[in-house]
């Protein structure tokens, strides 16, 4: 049997620990960092590779994306026969649940204001908010969104969920499809975005849609920066319809210095860190799926290239 060849082409990722992990888990495979002109490989492990990579590797059988979102990958021309596999959870769902719950709770419990009071030496109380007035709407009820919605329900927030196809999740009021988007938004005060970035979802968080949130709305974007129209968010924060936003993802990353988000008093920023790729868990998932594909078995987490996620 010929030796399995794996090529690694991941932008902004130190290759050595990934290669070491792949070598340990697949000792009989050849694993190497891709260089222009490299020999043809069977499988690729990628994150934001250049088009040249696929132009030079048209024979690939499978591509493993070391993230959950495949928007950057699907902008490229891929070999037509190739199977695209993304990370499913791989330790990201619990991270996303803790990040979103902390953002919702920090806002709901006024923790930012308490921290400012304490810094100023004031022992003050803010009136408690009504949980029943804080319906949280989760856009996208996939691997991450479903986990987030259920974690929020655990804290007894009313939770709405919106997906392309109908979903039944305990403790979550389900909405689906374009026809139910307005009702979903009007039923929500806090909006959490966990959609994939596709032609249908680009710019989905625009002025018209965000205006449908209940007054005093709050936006948590943890999916992709291009879901959100930055100026529309700023206008709704400045006219008071929205009370604030927590943003982890941006149209350009790192967020350019001078962007108004940096210093906006109602915006909390983090540098695309809400759910990090965990190397060991990811390698274990990739290798298990690669072996299943080699045996001719089906695997979960296949990307539907036409659908965009």
Active site residues: 224, 272
Binding to ligand OXD in span 19-58, by CB under 6 A: none
200 forms part of the interface with ligand NDP (CB under 6 A): yes
Among 6, 41, 68, 73, indicate the residue that binds ligand OXD (CB under 6 A): 68
Place of tokens 């709050």: 218
Site string for ligand NDP, 204-223 (x = CB under 6 A): ------------------xx
Q: Which is nearer to ligand NDP, 143 or 172 (CB)?
A: 143
Q: Which two tokens stand for residue 186?
A: 């009007």
Q: Which is nearer to ligand OXD, 68 or 213 (CB)?
A: 68
Cα–Cα distance between 61 and 121 in angstroms, integer?
62
67 forms part of the interface with ligand OXD (CB under 6 A): yes
CB atoms within 10 A of CB 103: 24
Q: Could you tell me the strand order of the sheet in which 30-33 lies?
A: 30-33, 5-10, 43-47, 62-65, 83-85
Residue nearest to ligand OXD (CB): 67
Q: Which is nearer to ligand OXD, 69 or 217 (CB)?
A: 69
Q: Which two tokens stand for residue 57?
A: 């590797």
Cα–Cα distance between 144 and 166 in angstroms, integer?
16
DSSP designation for 27: T
Among 21, 49, 62, 69, indicate the residue that binds ligand OXD (CB under 6 A): 69
DSSP designation for 139: E
Binding to ligand NDP in span 230-259, by CB under 6 A: 248-249
Give the binding range for ligand NDP (CB under 6 A) out of 35-43, 108-116, 183-191, 196-204: 196-204
- The DSSP secondary structure of 183-204, one letter per residue, reads HHHHT-SEEEE-----TTTTT-
172 forms part of the interface with ligand NDP (CB under 6 A): no
């Amino acid at each position: 049997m010929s030796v399995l060849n794996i090529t690694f082409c991941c932008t902004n990722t130190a290759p050595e620990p990934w290669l070491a992990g792949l070598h340990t888990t697949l000792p009989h495979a050849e694993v190497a960092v891709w260089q222009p002109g490299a020999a043809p490989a069977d499988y690729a492990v990628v994150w934001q590779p250049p088009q040249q990579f696929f132009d030079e590797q048209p024979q690939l059988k499978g591509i493993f994306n070391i993230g959950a979102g495949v928007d950057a990958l699907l902008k490229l021309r891929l070999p037509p026969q190739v199977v695209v596999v993304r990370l499913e959870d791989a330790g990201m769902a619990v991270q996303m649940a803790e990040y979103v719950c902390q953002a919702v709770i920090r806002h709901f419990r006024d923790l930012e204001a308490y921290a400012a009071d304490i810094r100023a030496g004031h022992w003050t109380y803010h009136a408690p908010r009504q949980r029943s007035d804080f319906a949280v709407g989760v856009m996208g009820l996939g691997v991450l969104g479903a986990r987030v919605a259920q974690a929020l329900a655990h804290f007894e927030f009313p939770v709405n969920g919106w997906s392309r196809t109908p979903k039944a999740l305990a403790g979550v009021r389900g909405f689906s499809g374009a026809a139910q988007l307005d009702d979903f938004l009007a039923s929500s005060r806090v909006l959490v975005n966990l959609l994939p970035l596709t032609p249908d979802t680009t710019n989905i968080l625009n002025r018209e849609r965000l205006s449908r949130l209940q007054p005093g709305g709050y936006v948590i974007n943890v999916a992709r920066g291009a879901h959100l129209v930055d100026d529309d968010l700023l206008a709704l924060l400045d006219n008071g319809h929205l009370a604030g936003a927590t943003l982890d993802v941006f149209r350009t990353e790192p967020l350019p210095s001078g962007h108004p988000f940096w210093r906006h008093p109602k915006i909390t920023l983090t540098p695309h860190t809400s759910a990090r790729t965990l190397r060991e868990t990811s390698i274990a998932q990739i290798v298990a799926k690669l072996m299943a594909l080699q045996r001719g078995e089906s695997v979960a987490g296949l990307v539907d290239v036409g659908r965009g996620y």
